[in-house]
Amino acid sequence: MNTKAIAGQGVDIEALRERYAHERARRIRPDGAGQYSGLAGELAEYAKDPYQPVLARAPKRDTVDMLIIGGGIGGLATAIALRKAGVRSIRIMDQAGDFGGTWYWNRYPGIRCDIESHVYMPLLEDVGTFPGWRYASGDEIRQHLVALARKYDLYDEALLHTQAIGATWTGAAWSITTDRGDVFDATYVVVSAGGVNAPKLPRIPGIGEFAGRMFHTSRWDYEFTGGDHSGGLHGLTDKSVAVVGTGATGVQVIPALAEYAKELFVFQRTPALVAPRDNRRTDKGWVKDDAPGWQRRRMENFLQITSGAKPEIDLIDDEWTRKAAFLNKQNTGTWEGDLSDPDAELAEEIADAVAMEAIRARVDDIVEDPATAEALKPWFRYFCKRPTFSDLYLPAFNRPNVTLVDTAEHGGVSRITNSGLVVGEKEYPVDLIVFATGFEVGSSSLMTGALNVVGRDGRSFLEAWANGPRTLHGYTTAGFPNLFHMSVIHTANNINFSHMLQIHAEHISNVILSAREAGAAGVEPTSAMQDAWQREIEKTARNLHDFHLACTPGYFNAEGQPTAAAITYGPGPIVLRDVLARWRQECLPDALFFV
């Protein structure tokens, strides 16, 4: 690839690299991930459940076969697979007041799934749900998950509004303790809670001083705003409102607030990459192939396209599948060829530049005020941050009641006073502050120690992982029998995380069922199995360190300070699924133990 070819595409790649580096440099903060705080201590009040009251109940003292921590998609999929195989004693536990996981907590106005519902919503054919929209509302997804829990009879044994705080291996089972005073035994424990469930707030000086109303998007106060997820926020028609954050959540919530607030100030630090959405109503005819098994086939098609395979047909044909080449470069390191070839690397960078230029041109096309349009343009590479999709977000800035406040030069909002937000020296008085500032992504209670797990020989889980994760396939750890963990660590990843959770659930439930069939007391990987998987991860993990190091900060790159640790299984989910099936056939007997 020579400079002539580059010029032929109209891309000055050197100038673009400089611009991206400049934007990164002005955004980077020395405090990295430390700029955020979880909702604990004096912020604990902001973590409270605004949707359902916590009801008094007597502590449980009993024994169950399966304890599944997390009532979201991963927990439900595991429970349902076990239930279908005839397991009766299944307890799901969740801090939330109902099933739904992230869709329980996130009910902000405008909430929609950004993956096509027909491949995202699990087990549609089990309950006969057919999504009413191509990208369903959060409420539709939550109702579907509740319907699954009902159909598979998961409410009776469930412990909701309950957090497990201790799990100790007794030699035959796990003894579980909770924050509601429960003490019970479970033969198997599956932890599927930690995707995007812990909200975070920026440590903005003065945040505790604000005298108006303030909440995180995952704890929406509809009593204050009026309305529901679909709109009708009439409580805001005489209010000045601030939103902090313009990520995937901000992009969805801002148009909804703009419609009702007297005035809306959008505090932006890094502009989002906003691609077209093209949402529409769907009925059964829309998917064309609706013969039994249609959802599985559609999910597979999406998984293949977004994991580097090239099926003949793209059934989904949306912005994710059209940009799959960028995803594949991230996940599998391929770009129509060998990326160790510098020409291929440059070709990919140019394609990225062309795609980002189209995103920036779209801002100019839609946003009328030139200064606002300029400030809304993202200057980073595709997949430096999660792309967002909206046909409503950019037009919202043409409304007279909406003001974009660019905080980039100041590293974010400078201060909060008792009456508003300050950027530099300018104060913006408001009645309500909505924090669309995201989540502690991917850290489950097992990994933070909020669930204190003590395995064989009194060894704690945190000790076992003191020098980094130690797992077989990401799910199990030697010394912790019958304990399974779903996360993004030591496993493959896919943008349809719901499908990944279903792949995890299928494997875990198969392993547990095989152990029961064999009459085993349980299953635990040997150290040798674990070491072999560690080597496999190190051998195959994509090295994205350099890419992330050049990216504008965010949770994808540990706020601009990425580590080079090998975390992900490089060949991707389709190969992983085969690896897991072969392991179950050939190696599982060696992991069983008998009393």
Q: How far apart are CB 276 and ligand NDP at their closest, in Å?
A: 15
Report the residue from 73, 266, 303, 436 that binds ligand NDP according to the rule CB under 6 A.
436
Rg of the Cα trace of the chain? 24
CB of 441 to ligand NDP, least distance (A): 7
Q: How far is the CB of 426 from ligand NDP (least distance, A)?
A: 14
For residues 389 and 114, is the Cβ–Cβ distance under 8 A?
A: yes
Q: Give whichever of 83 and 415 is closer to ligand NDP, judged by the CB atom.
A: 415
Encoded one letter per residue, x for contact with ligand NDP by CB under 6 A and - for no contact, window 107-146 reads: -----xxxx-------------------------------
Q: How far is the CB of 375 from ligand NDP (least distance, A)?
A: 13
Name residues whose C-beta falls within 8 Å of residue 68's C-beta, 6 or more positions apart in sequence. Answer: 75, 78, 79, 90, 91, 92, 93, 189, 190, 192
SS3 17: helix
φ, ψ of residue 470 to 5 degrees: the values are -130, 110
Q: Which is nearer to ligand NDP, 195 or 235 (CB)?
A: 195
Q: Is 413 in the site for ligand NDP (CB under 6 A)?
A: yes
Which of 117/328 has CB closer to ligand NDP? 117
Nearer to ligand NDP, 95 or 197 (CB): 197
Which of 189, 204, 258, 495 touches ligand NDP (CB under 6 A)?
204
- Amino acid code (one letter) for 360: R
Question: Toward ligand NDP, which CB reaches closer, 152 or 320?
Answer: 320
Residues 14-33 that bind ligand NDP (CB under 6 A): 27
- Comparison of 6 and 201: residue with beta carbon closer to ligand NDP: 201
Q: What is the DSSP letter of 11?
A: -
Q: What residues between 68 and 87 interact with ligand NDP by CB under 6 A?
A: none
Report if residue 325 touches ligand NDP, rule: CB under 6 A: no
Indicate the residue among 101 and 247 with the shorter CB distance to ligand NDP: 247
Residue 155: left if φ>0, alpha if ψ -120 to 50, beta else—which one? alpha
Q: CB-wise, 269 or 298, nearer to ligand NDP?
A: 269
CA angle 577, 172, 65 (to 5 degrees): 60
* DSSP at 380: S
- Contact window for ligand NDP (CB under 6 A) among 46-54, 323-331, 394-402, 433-441: 433-441
Q: Can you spell out the DSSP letters for 159-228?
A: B-S--EEEEEE-SSSEEEEETTS-EEEEEEEEE---SS-SBEEE--TTGGG--SEEEEGGG--HHHH-SB
Nearer Cβ to ligand NDP (174/556) = 556
227: burial class by Cβ within 10 Å (0-12, 13-18, 19+)? middle
How far from chain centre, in Å, is Cα 451?
20
Torsions phi, psi of 315, nearest 5? -70, -25
Report, in Å, the least distance between residue 89 CB and ligand NDP: 33
Rounded to an integer, what distance in angstroms lies between the CA atom of residue 466 and that of residue 458?
15
* Interacting residue with ligand NDP among 379, 439, 475, 480 (CB under 6 A): 439
Structure tokens at 286: 């829309």
Tokens of 144: 């579907």
Answer for which of 265, 555, 569, 583 binds ligand NDP (CB under 6 A) is 555
Site for ligand NDP in 240-269 (CB under 6 A): 244-250, 267, 269
Q: State the DSSP code for 468.
A: S
Rounding to the nearest 10 degrees, give the CA dihedral for residues 512, 516, 519, 520: 20
Q: Which stretch binds ligand NDP (CB under 6 A): 78-86, 405-413, 518-526, 579-587?
A: 405-413
User: Does the protein bind ligand NDP through residue 407 (CB under 6 A)?
Assistant: yes
- CA neighbours closer than 13 Å in the CB half-sphere of residue 107: 22
C-beta of 380 vs 480, nearer to ligand NDP: 380
Give yes or no for a contact between 245 and 36, defined as CB atoms under 8 angstroms apart.
no
Closest CA to 269 of 386, 401, 407, 420: 407
Rounded to an integer, what distance in angstroms lies between the CA atom of residue 522 and that of residue 520? 5
Residue 197 CB, nearest approach to ligand NDP (Å): 10
Number of amino acids touching ligand NDP (CB under 6 A): 28
Scanning the structure block, which residue is given the tokens 């850290």? Answer: 443
Q: Is 32 left (phi over 0), alpha (psi -120 to 50) or beta?
A: left
Shorter beta-carbon distance to ligand NDP: residue 117 or 295: 117
DSSP category for residue 374: H
- Pattern 348-387, binding to ligand NDP, x per CB under 6 A? --------------------------------------x-
Closest approach of Cβ 457 to ligand NDP, in Å? 38
The residue within the footprint of ligand NDP, chosen from 321, 372, 437, 530 (CB under 6 A), is: 437
Q: Greatest CA separation found in the chain?
A: 75
Among 412, 474, 481, 560, binds ligand NDP (CB under 6 A): 412
Least distance in angstroms from the C-beta of 268 to ligand NDP:
7
What residue ranges bind ligand NDP (CB under 6 A)? 27, 112-115, 196, 202, 204, 244-250, 267, 269-270, 386, 407, 412-413, 436-439, 554-555
